[in-house]
Every structure is written in structure tokens, then in C-alpha cells.
Amino acid sequence: MEIIKPDTHIDFSGKRKIAFSISGLMILISIASLIFHGGPKYGIDFAGGTLVQIKFHGPVKIPDIKKGFKSMGITSVTVQVFGDPKDNEYLVRTDKSGITNEGFSDKIKRAVTAATGQEAQIRRVEMVGPQVGKDLQEKALFAIFYSLLFITIYISGRFEYKWMLSGVMAAALMGAVYALSLFTESIAILIGAALLVTLVLFWFLELKYAMGAIVALIHDVTITVGLFSLFNKEFTLPIIAALLTIIGYSLNDTIIVFDRIRENLRRQHKSSFDTIINNSINQTLSRTILTSGTTLFTIIALFVLGGGIIHDFAFALLVGVVVGTYSSIYVASPILLAWQGKTHKK
């Protein structure tokens, strides 16, 4: 099925400077938000502490809920509305993680019922120790980093037949990152530095397809994380799952375009590289719109109707699919043109 006419010739590569400016601005806003907020807002999974979900039979005031917890000796408490305000449901967080002893739920129920004057129902209580939270942070960062490196092996092998070179480079980077992680506390800075080194190596080793794909993926993840920081949303384990899903989805779109570019390089070898990229994107545009459109319909339904539990997960997917579709057209493919310029200079 084609919703875009076969003879459509939209000049995507001609607008790459505008696209790069938009992407650069979004990334700068994301980084500025992360710096301003002191990094992502980690949930209980990563920061450690205790989370309590409470539902009341009638409307209550947040200060009264805090008063109930204060009567138990828990003073560092944040309370937020969970789901529809009409449901009278709240999430209560505290940075204390060793307080969930036997009968803890009953104590909360009695304390907040007395403080608010409304019957309380404890929906769930979750506790994560600070050391466990730190370990989960590190494992999440390693999961994203290693997934990107394995992708470089696949892209380099499939499109440039450099399986050995990319494999050795990825193995060396993984080994170096693992060894250095044993001697440093800041895993986030280490992973960031490793990604920068990876991109520099791609440039000098001329792994152009891999670099195009990885830059697009870093672009997608950075903007998604930045929007979470901008909207002050919590970063939890389901969000890491969403980021890995976004990486896979965006990569799939990029590979489709790269495949068509490779085919057209053989068929249209007399055409300029700029023209070949434009033709390839236009030829795959119907598939891209149909795939992204149907996926978005599902995610929007999940976002609107899925409830508070998966609201942030659906939000991450929603942002990731939109940004991933954009990057496969305006980020990954135009980067190949930068290599063309480098080759001409040589």
C-alpha cells in the first residue's frame, strides 16, 4: 500500500541544515534541563526509598496526608496525585528505605485516616535500598551502552562488510569501560566519554553507516530523557525498557532507508549521492508513515486509556517513535553526506 505517490521528490537532504539546527536546539534544551535539575528525576527503582500508593474514599488535602506520615515519624515525604484527581488516589514517596516492617501498611492506614478524616486504602508499598538503586542505575546505563555497541557490529557488518574491525573495536571499548568502571564512581560520565570515543573511532575508521545509525540513536535517547527532565517525570525501570524499545524501533526505520540507499547506489551509480539519498528516503516514505502511524495510534491509546501505572512508559514510547522517525530521515541519512564531503576533500 502506497499513500505517497511514487514520483514524489521531496528534497530532504536539501533541508538537512534546518533539521540539524532543530535537532541541535532540542538536544541543547534537553542537556540544559538535565543540568538545571541535577540529572534525571530518579524513581524509587534507582534512588532508593519507599513508595506508598493510597486511595481515599473522598477528597483529601495533601498537607493532611503529610501530617499523617509525620505522626509516624516520617518527615521527608513528597505527595502527588496519581491518575485522575477525581479518583482521590495519591503516591507518597520518602527517601527512607528501612521502614517497611511488619504491620507498616496498617500503621499508615490508621495514621492517614486519622489525619485526613477519610477512610484510606493502601494499594501498594514498594521499598528499594540505596545500594540496590545504585546498582540498578549502573546496570541500566551499561544495558544502553552495550546495546549501542552491538548495533554498530551489525550495521558495519551488514552494510560495509567490516565485521572483524567493528567487532574488535566494540570488544575493546566494552573491556575498557568495564575495567574503568571498577575504579570510578561516576558511571554516567564514563559511559558518556566512551560514546564520544566511539564516535571519534567511527570517523577515523570510516564506519559511516554505523556512525549515522548511532548518532541518530543517541539523538533519540537524549531528547527523550531531556523531555522527561523538562516535564519533571520520574525515571524508572520501565522507562529503561521504553528506551531500549525506542532504540530498536528507530534502528529498524534507519536500516530500511540504508538498505534502499545501498540498492540505489548500484542502480543509480551515475546520479549524485545527494540525489540517491533523496530518492531512497522518498521511496521508503510510504512504509515509514504507515509503520509509524499505526504504531502511534496504539501508543496514543495506551497513553490516554492505560492508566497512571503505564502513563510515563507510554509517554516515553510516544516521544521516541516521533523523534525516531524524524531522525531516520533527517539525522542518520544526511550524516552519510558528511562522509561524501570528507571523501571529496581526500
Q: Residues 140-186: pLDDT tens digits?
A: 888 888 888 888 888 888 888 888 888 888 888 888 888 888 777 77
Is there a single domain that holds both residue 255 and residue 309? yes
Is there a single domain that holds both residue 108 and residue 186? no
Residue 209 domain-assigned? yes
Torsion angles phi and psi, residue 232, rounded to 5: 60, 40
Is there a single domain that holds both residue 120 and residue 136? no
Is there a single domain that holds both residue 120 and residue 143? no
Is there a single domain that holds both residue 328 and residue 232? yes
Residue 19 domain-assigned? yes
Q: Residues 245-290: pLDDT tens digits?
A: 999 888 888 898 899 888 888 888 778 888 888 888 888 888 888 8
Residue 4 domain-assigned? no
Residue 1 domain-assigned? no
CATH number (domain holding residue 257): 1.20.1640.10
Is there a single domain that holds both residue 215 and residue 287? yes
Is there a single domain that holds both residue 32 and residue 53? no
Is there a single domain that holds both residue 211 and residue 269? yes
| pLDDT over 90 at 1, yes or no | no
Distance (Å, rounded) from C-alpha 281 to C-alpha 205? Answer: 26
Which is higher by pLDDT, 185 or 292?
292
| pLDDT over 60 at 320, yes or no | yes
Which is higher by pLDDT, 342 or 172?
172
Q: How many domains does the chain have?
A: 2
Residue 301 domain-assigned? yes
Global confidence as pTM: 0.83
| pLDDT over 50 at 346, yes or no | no
CATH number (domain holding residue 69): 3.30.70.3400
Residue 88 domain-assigned? yes
- Which stretches does DSSP call E strand in 17-73? 41-42, 49-56
Residue 24 banded pLDDT, cuts 50, 70, 90 = very high
Residue 121 domain-assigned? yes
The separation between the first and the last C-alpha atoms of the chain, rounded to the nearest angstrom, is 43
| pLDDT over 60 at 105, yes or no | yes
Is residue 206 within a helix (H) or strand (E), and if so which, with residue range? none
Is there a single domain that holds both residue 66 and residue 27? no
Range of the domain at 80: 49-128
Is there a single domain that holds both residue 306 and residue 265? yes
| pLDDT over 80 at 95, yes or no | no
Distance (Å, rounded) from C-alpha 217 to C-alpha 68? Answer: 46
Give how far Cα 83 sits from Cα of 20, 69, 125, 245, 311, Å.
37, 21, 17, 24, 9
Residue 3 domain-assigned? no
Is there a single domain that holds both residue 107 and residue 83? yes
Is there a single domain that holds both residue 39 and residue 53? no
pLDDT, averaged across the chain? 85
Within 10 A of 280 (CB to CB), how many other CB atoms are there?
A: 24
Tell me which of 128, 144, 161 is where a domain ends: 128
Tell me which of 71, 99, 128 is where a domain ends: 128
Hey, what's the cell of 69? 506520615
Tell me which of 107, 128, 149 is where a domain ends: 128
